[in-house]
Amino acid sequence: MNGKLWIFMCAVIGVFILSCAPGEKPSELVQPENWWENLPRPVYATLENAGTFQSWFEVYKLTEGTYAIYEPYQFEEAMSYLVLGKERGIIIDTGTGIGDLKQVVSELTDLPVSVVNTHTHFDHVGNNYQFEEIAIYEDASEINRLIEGIDNAFLQRHISIESLWKPLPEGFDPKTWTIPPVEPTYLLDEGTTIDLGGRILEVIHTPGHSPGSICLLDPDNRILFTGDTFFPGPLYAHASDVNIDDYMASIEKLTSRIHEYDFLCSGHNDPWVNSEVIPRVGEAFETIFEGGGNFDEDDGLRRYYFDGFDILIRTDMIK
Ligand SMILES: [Zn+2]
């Protein structure tokens, strides 16, 4: 075993000992063993790499003033986006909170930057507390999750040995990791516009993945920031927050506006996806509910396979 590998193994074992909280191991259908073996995803060879920060983030410049800030070493492969206008910027989601996102942002821009959350699952709000201005869709359950924060016990399984393939960054303490409570400072509604100075984004309410999920449309750059409403991985239609009818209606809503965007900046895995996939997600749900599609099943959970994405759904949701 070479030195670097040994240090890595010690770090991982250390993290494992510290983080070996009881709790169910996620199904193989949700989190396959050695999920990192397929990384890096092919898209990254085609993007402009803006550098690696704190050995934790990779940053890609997508267009002038649009950066994907990616966390490839933790299973969620969380993705935040720095979107800059002439006068100010926003950070769309703030990742897991494992790295120092504010520091990365300050190395990319001098403009004032506020947070816009696509929804409030832990891997999208982890660094909110580092910023003063925080916007969220006007939905009580999303607002409450921000105000309550998320405790260390809940977060432990996300830094288990199965969920990481690189050491955690220096200065991060798995024993004290929490998502600190924050108060939203601005509430968003359907159609709210966010003016960054020469660049205006529109809020599109897309409930389904969670009640207050939003997408953000950047019409001049023909980009749709999708949060978790779409990402090129297993879409979570099985989770407790999901409303499947709302989810399908939201995909239909995005399909009706597909002439307004060419690329999707998604909440996980891949920051630059061709928009043609959106109507196919609607068709995929229809296929599933008509009894078609290829899937694997385990303990009441099915993973359906489609071209460019999968769908996780509970068997009892189909019958
Ligand atoms: Zn989510």
How many A from CA of 74 to the centre of ligand 1? 15
Nearest to 281 by CA among 315, 306, 301: 306
**132: CB partners within 8 A, 6+ apart:** 114, 185
- Give me 260's structure tokens: 């307004």
Domain ranges of the chain: 3-317
pLDDT (0 to 100) of residue 23: 44
158 alpha carbon to ligand 1 midpoint, in Å?
14
Alpha carbon of 85 to ligand 1 centroid (Å): 26
Specify the amino acid at residue 290. Answer: E
**Pairwise CA distance, residues 319 & 103, whole Å:** 49
Do the bridges between strand 193-195 and strand 186-188 make them parallel or antiparallel, or are there none, so unpaired?
A: unpaired
Residue 190 alpha carbon to ligand 1 centre in Å? 19
Q: How far is the CA of 3 from the centre of ligand 1 (A)?
A: 37
CA 177 to chain centre: 19
Instruction: Tell me the two tokens of residue 49.
Output: 């790499």
Measured in angstroms, how far is the CA atom of residue 119 from the centroid of ligand 1?
A: 7
Per CATH, the homologous superfamily of domain 3-317 is Ribonuclease Z/Hydroxyacylglutathione hydrolase-like (3.60.15.10)
Nearest partner of 90 among 214, 261, 205, judged by Cα: 214
CA–centroid distance, 277 to ligand 1, in Å, is 19
Digit-coded pLDDT (tens) for 55-101:
999 999 999 999 999 999 999 999 999 999 999 999 999 999 999 99
pLDDT in tens, 252-280: 999 999 999 999 999 999 999 999 999 99
Provide the whole-model pTM: 0.91
What is the per-residue DSSP string for 14-32?
HHHHHH----PPPPTTTS-
How many whole angstroms separate alpha carbon 228 and alpha carbon 269? 11
Please list the pLDDT of the chain residue by residue as tens digits (319 residues): 444 444 444 444 444 333 333 345 678 888 888 888 888 989 999 999 999 999 999 999 999 999 999 999 999 999 999 999 999 999 999 999 999 999 999 999 999 999 999 999 999 999 999 999 999 999 999 999 999 999 999 999 898 888 888 899 999 999 999 999 999 999 999 999 999 999 999 999 999 999 999 999 999 999 999 999 999 999 999 998 999 999 999 999 999 999 999 999 999 999 999 999 999 999 999 999 999 999 999 999 999 999 999 999 999 998 7
